[in-house]
Amino acid sequence: MDQDCFYKYEYAQKMLETELHVLIKEFERKHGYMPVEHVKFRIKTKESIKNKLESRGYEYSFENIEKHISDVVGFRIVVSFLSDVYDIVSMISHSTNLLIKKRKDYIKEPKDTGYSSYHLIVLVPVYLEGYVEYVTAEIQVRTVAMDFWASLDHKIRYKFHEEIPLDVQEAMLSYAEDIQELDRKMYEMNKIMSKYEKEEC
C-alpha cells in the first residue's frame, strides 16, 4: 500500500495535538487548576493495522482501514482524579473543532478483566487543498491508577496472546477492583482538599 495513503493520519494527529493543547490550557486558565498529568499520542504501525484487520477477517487495504479501524491515531490523556476524567471528557465534547462519533465509558462498565477508561472516537477536520476531510481518532481519558492497570493489562494479554488462564483472569479482576477502590478513595480525598481550598479563599 502506498505510503501516501497515510498522510492524512499524520495531519490529523497534528491537528488533534494542537486542539487538545489549547483546550487543556484554556481549562487551566478558567478553573485555575491543571488536572492533566500527561498526554501521549501515537499513530499505529502498518504491521499493527494489518494484524488488527486480519484478526477481524478483513483484507489489508486502505478502504478497510477507513471503514474498520478507528484508532489509527490515538491519544491518551492521564489525569489525577476520577472527577477529572469527566471534566476532560466534557471539555472535549464541547469543542467546536471536533465531532464526537462514538463514546464508551469503561469506568461505569469495565471490561471483563477490570480494564477502566473513557474512550472517545472523534472526527478531526483535516484541511487539504480545496476541501476538508474528517479523519477518525481515538482519545482515551483515564486516571493515573487506571493507566497503571491498563499497562499491566496490555502486557498480560500480550504474554498470553489473549488466551488468559482463568486463575490469572480472576486475579486481574480482583486487583482491578482494588485499583477502582483506590480511585474512589483519592476522589474523596480530593473533595476534602477542595473544601479547605474554598475556606482559604
Rounded distance, CA 97 to CA 110, Å? 29
Tell me the whole-structure pTM to 2 decimals. Answer: 0.87
pLDDT tens digits for range 64-109: 999 999 999 999 999 999 999 999 999 999 999 999 999 999 999 9
163: number of CA atoms within 13 Å, CB side? Answer: 1
Q: What's the pLDDT at 152?
A: 82
Q: Where along the chain do its domains lie?
A: 3-200
Rounded distance, CA 35 to CA 33, Å? 6
Rounded distance, CA 42 to CA 71, Å? 10
Quick one: angle between helices 166-200 and 82-93, nearest 10? 80
Assign domain 3-200 one CATH number from 3.30.750.24, 3.30.460.10, 3.10.180.10, 3.40.50.620: 3.30.460.10
Rg of the chain over CA atoms, in angstroms?
19
pLDDT tens digits for range 134-179: 999 999 999 999 998 888 877 887 777 667 788 887 888 888 888 8
